[in-house]
């Protein structure tokens, strides 16, 4: 039995997340992945922005930083560049990382800075009560799309890869063993890694779309029934993939990492080379 208490600030529990929320599942997956790296807790920083997922750092026993809405990656970039020996992990919701934090997201990808970003992607602004986000499915109702969402959604993996991230994966809060693997690989990867996790928020999203998601269990079943591994997806047509969740590792490549490149320049000047 895995002992989570070693990694938790046990006195800060219970957490604020609702029954049926995927955040707890992803947090535990993240902890197992961290444990597998064997890193010292002192050497790990977990950074977040604002939102439900962003409360995670308060619960875990690392160096933790709960920043402002959308800005987690900016703070994390400063930490990693100033102290490259730290392992920097960012946890962020879909609104946090893709809407208000979208600019920081693409530039962190471009820099290929050694940070692992886990996107807790439940397709809704949960903390503010269920407004549509950049990943709310087309047509879904929310408190600001009462007639159905009219905006198309972002594909996190495509943005990440296109912007230059060197490790990109997608898992779900249903397929937990695979998620453990993706997060662990992302942590061990040298460079900017993005793990997009499809999750569900029954309280603010499911409840107002009862036809599609009759219960919180149905939201998990939705993940089970609609996830398509990337290998299989490659053989399917665009029409067949409509509404499906493609999972797996989309991109894994080695490219020069930003803080290492920077450190080499700094080191070339130490020892009298000023």
Q: How far is the CB of 49 from another protein (least distance, A)?
A: 10
**Residue 59 or residue 182: which is nearer to another protein going by CB?**
59
**Choices 23-31, 53-61, 117-125, 158-166 (CB under 8 A): range interacting with another protein:** 53-61
Residue 41 binds to another protein (criterion: CB under 8 A): yes
Closest-CA residue to 38 (of 14, 9, 6, 74) = 6
CB 93 within 8 A of CB 52: yes
Instruction: Find residue 90's DSSP bridge partners.
Output: 47, 117
Q: Which of 18, 79, 230, 241 binds another protein (CB under 8 A)?
A: 79
**Residue 8 or residue 230: which is nearer to another protein going by CB?**
8
Residue 74 binds to another protein (criterion: CB under 8 A): yes
Write down the residue that tokens 């450190």 correspond to. 263
Tokens representing 274 are: 């000023």
**Choices 43-51, 153-161, 197-205, 225-233 (CB under 8 A): range interacting with another protein:** 43-51
> Between β-strands 115-121 and 44-48, what pairing exists: parallel, antiparallel or unpaired?
unpaired
CA distance 82 to 84: 6
Positive/negative CA dihedral, 5, 186, 51, 49: positive
Q: Which of 23, 71, 141, 170 binds another protein (CB under 8 A)?
A: 71
CA distance 112 to 204: 34
Restricted to residues 11-40, the positions that interact with another protein (CB under 8 A) are: 12
Where do the DSSP E strands lie in 99-159?
Answer: 115-121
Write the binding mask 181 to 200 for another protein: x where contact by CB under 8 A, - elsewhere: --------------------
Residues that bind another protein (CB under 8 A): 9, 12, 41-43, 45, 47, 57-58, 61-68, 71, 73-79, 81-83, 86, 103-104, 107, 262, 265-266, 269-270, 273-274
């Amino acid at each position: 039995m895995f002992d989570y208490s070693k990694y938790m600030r046990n006195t800060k529990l219970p957490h604020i997340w609702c029954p049926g929320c995927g955040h707890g599942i992803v947090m535990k997956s993240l902890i197992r992945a961290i444990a597998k790296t064997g890193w010292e807790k002192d050497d790990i920083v977990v950074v977040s922005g604002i939102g439900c997922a962003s409360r995670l750092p308060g619960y875990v026993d690392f160096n933790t930083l709960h920043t402002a809405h959308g800005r987690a990656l900016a703070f994390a970039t400063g930490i990693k560049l100033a102290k490259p020996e730290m392992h920097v992990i960012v946890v962020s919701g879909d609104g946090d990382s893709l809407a208000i934090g979208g600019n920081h997201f693409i530039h962190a990808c471009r820099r290929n800075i050694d940070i692992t970003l886990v996107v807790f992607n439940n397709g809704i602004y949960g903390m503010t009560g269920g407004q549509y986000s950049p990943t709310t499915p087309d047509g879904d109702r929310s408190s600001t799309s009462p007639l159905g969402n009219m905006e198309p959604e972002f594909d996190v993996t495509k943005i990440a890869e296109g912007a230059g991230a060197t490790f990109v994966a997608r898992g779900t809060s249903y397929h937990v063993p695979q998620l453990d693997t993706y997060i662990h690989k992302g942590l061990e990867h040298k460079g900017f890694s993005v793990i997009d996790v499809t999750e569900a928020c029954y309280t603010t999203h499911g409840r107002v779309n009862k036809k599609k998601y009759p219960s919180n269990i149905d939201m998990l079943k939705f993940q089970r029934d609609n996830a398509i591994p990337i290998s299989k997806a490659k053989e399917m047509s665009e029409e067949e993939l409509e509404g499906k969740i493609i999972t797996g590792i989309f991109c894994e490549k080695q490219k020069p990492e930003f803080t290492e490149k920077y450190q080499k320049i700094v080191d070339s000047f130490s020892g009298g080379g000023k």
